[in-house]
Structure 1
Amino acid sequence: MRKPEIKQTILRDARASDAGQIAHIYNYYVLNTVVTFEEKAVPEIEMASRISDVQGLGLPWLVAEDSDGAISGYAYAVRWKTRAAYKFSVETTVYTDPELRRNGLGTMLYSALFERLMAAGIHSAVGGICLPNDASVALHEKMGMKQIARFNEIGFKAGQWLDVGYWQRIFTQD
């Protein structure tokens, strides 16, 4: 079976009006996979609040919008921890429409996100991955991230204990 092709795509800042499409993408992963540890679908209004919270901290939440106005993926960064000394460290996230996986969209989103983070003076980006997840590991390593930790059986979803690995990139050495 041939992969669907990505239509002409622009990357832009997320808007509250994107929350429904973003929630639709994310909720596929919530309800059908273990890659996120949420277990209940996230309503559109909650997603809009999350977007507002991230952007309110001055951090990027980007979307990939195709020529038809459909959101095909998104990426964002949140503060790693709330203590003041962590102010230059973030945790990054990327999700794409499940039908468009492995088409370069994650790389496109993460590249733009990392550029924005570096321009904002962020020093360290960390990405958490439920393991095993070869595609996500490959994406994070393609983006220059290196595995720094693994927590065994740290989450329980879908009747199984799940491991989480963390990958990190230090930007000031770029």
Structure 2
Amino acid sequence: MSFTLRDASLADIPAITDIYSESVRNGVATYEIAVPDQAEMTTRFSTITGNSYPYIVAEDADGVVIGYAYASAFRTRSAYRFLVEDSIYLAPEARGRGVGKALLTELIARCTDLGFRQMVAVIGGAHPASIAVHRSTGFVDCGTVKGSGLKFGRWLDTTFMQLALGEGLDSVPADGVYPDTLYGA
């Protein structure tokens, strides 16, 4: 499957909403139960990009968005400001074709360039394909929370994985690299 990656834009929200809606309705990657509408997805997009986090899409050869990925704050307390959480969602026809790995690889590069030091994956349903793609890019297992979600009438586990970015834990970033005002007190 031929595809390209690019920055997401507001024009992509309908496609992003469709991809995410399918995941909410049919998958366990998200523990969301009610499908959010385009207005809600626009708000989420604007919040993420408004805080200068990367948000990218994959397009097929016909220009159709087949997947997207973004990084966002893991938690909003300022001590977490060097840690990002990744999120990746794919259209059904893009799964198992290298699109997810390409999106994740690009997201890792962009977050490293922005000076983040750690990336965490919070994998709903302990989804084997998601775990595999994260391992293939260097993530390590941090643990599994058993029965953390209830969806489709069954208990689901959540797997946490982590990847050091850039210098990781080898140094402490200079003060003021990321203003505390972006992350709360």
TM over 0.5: yes
Aligned pairs (5 A) from 1:1-174 = 6-7=1-2, 9-173=3-167
Identity %: 36
Q: How far is 1:172 from its partner? A: 2.7
Amino acid at match of 2:158: V
Which amino acid letter does the alignment assign opposite residue 52 of structure 2? Answer: G
Question: How far apart are residue 141 of structure 1 and its match?
Answer: 0.2
- Offset of residue 162 of structure 1: 1.0
For structure 2, list consecutive stretches of 5 or more residues without a partner in the other structure: 169-185
Does the 8 A contact of 2:69 with 2:88 survive in 1?
A: yes
Equivalent-residue separation in structure 1 for 2:130 and 2:9 (angstroms):
26
Q: Distance in 2 between matches of 1:70 and 1:45?
A: 21
Measure, in 2, the Cα distance between the counterparts of 1:172 and 1:119: 8
- Compare 27-36 and 110-119 and name the one that shifted more: 27-36
Instruction: Report SS of the residue matched to 2:21.
Output: helix
Query: Once superposed, which parts of structure 1, at least 4 consecutive aligned residues long, lie more than 3 Å away?
Result: none
- Judged with a 3 Å threshold, the aligned counterparts in structure 2 of structure 1 residues 82 and 132 are, in CA distance, closer, same or farther, namely closer
The count of residues paired between Structure 1 and Structure 2 equals 168
Please report how far the alpha carbon of residue 45 of structure 1 lies from its aligned counterpart in structure 2 after TM superposition. 1.6
For 1:103, what is the secondary structure of its paired residue?
Answer: coil
Alignment gaps of 5+ in structure 1: 1-5
Distance 1:98 1:113 in 2: 21
TM-score if structure 1 supplies the norm length? Answer: 0.92
Contact 1:31–1:39 (CA under 8 A) maintained in structure 2? yes
One-letter amino acid matched to 1:129? I
Change (3 A) 1:158 1:62: same
Would you say the 8 A contact 1:155–1:163 is kept in 2?
Answer: yes
What is the CA deviation profile of residues 42-73 of structure 1, one whole-angstrom value per residue up to 9, with x for unaligned ones?
21121111111111111000001223221010
**One-letter amino acid matched to 2:40:** E
1:74 is paired with a residue of what secondary structure?
strand
CA RMSD of aligned residues (A): 1.3
Distance in 1, Cα, partners of 2:22 & 2:102: 21
Q: Which moved more, 1:54-63 or 1:32-41?
A: 32-41
Task: Give the residue type in structure 1 aligned to 2:91.
Answer: D
SS of the aligned residue for 1:78 comes to strand
